[in-house]
A and B are shown apart, each in its own frame.
Chain A
Amino acid sequence: MSSSQFEPIPMMSDAPAPAPAAAPQEQASPIRDAIQEAISSHEVILFMKGTPEAPACGFSARTVAMLQELEVPFAAVDILPDPRIRQELSAISNWPTIPQLFHHGELIGGCDIVTEMYESGELAETLR
């Protein structure tokens, strides 16, 4: 599998948080904004433990394997480097577990749903 099949996205940045607004209704969350941006700007994006080359969890590994089997290009985000990535992601998606696969900004599901859809052929149809 060529490494051009996915595009790892670094979520961590040393950039300082923007100065708080005069009347902050919500706390600024650069990580949440980066996740939102990543979800909306990639057709297919997988939030996983580890990387596609070195998955750190069996569920993430299986999900990567199915996407690669279907030769679907996808972006990947490793949630492990900072616990806030997972917190913010789950808050955005209303989904407690990892991996999470998004297509056109919509949550497709976790490993179980992706597996069911892979087996029924629905995944190939949806992602192509």
Chain B
Amino acid sequence: MLRIQQLEVSRGHGPHAFRVQLPELALEAGQIVAVTGVSGCGKSTLLETLGLLLRPTQAQVFTLGQEAKDIRALYASGRESELAQWRARNLGFVLQNGGLLPYLSVWENMVLPRRLLGLPAKADHLDAAIATLNLERLLNLYPSALSIGERQRVAFSRAIAHAPGLVLADEPTAALDPETAHNVFQLFFSLAKELDLAVLLVSHDWDSLSQFAIPRLQAKLEPGLSIFVPEVAAPCL
């Protein structure tokens, strides 16, 4: 699904330059891994790189998707639309604030990735997600009528609507209170297991996540450098 070897990405120039390294990562379907670290350690930079939003400075291996597409070649081709298509097809995103479009109903938000890929709106796995996340009664509402927790549940269902294989979640519970955050994580992880999804979850709140016994990549900080290394020899490596 996702294979990385010796990936490095830089931000800034001169004395303000900051590098993020990921020596190795292999993520298969059904695996969940957390990326943790203090604020400013480069978690979001790593997520952007893995989400094909930021070009890595170097990578020995960087493949994504069932077909193990070489992302370095995709960047080298310079075709923005191809990259956008590959991202749209193979990745699902859960954003900090949900990232729902305010002018679409919950249902329209959920099926938008499918429509943009030319897929039929209805899908069995989406129905299962709606049931698991208790979203049936919210489908016709607009995001402004939802609580933050409900928005995040809708955001999860949108992220998996097109069966992307890999879901990248960026601080999805940052705006929630601990109890709601725990409930949302619980629902999300059970959905990921049920649908056999690979999930990479960025969070600064390991305390909430540690209860779920998932492996994690922890940022080790050095001057101008952050290296994400596995804390536990876990199924993600």
- A-B interaction: no
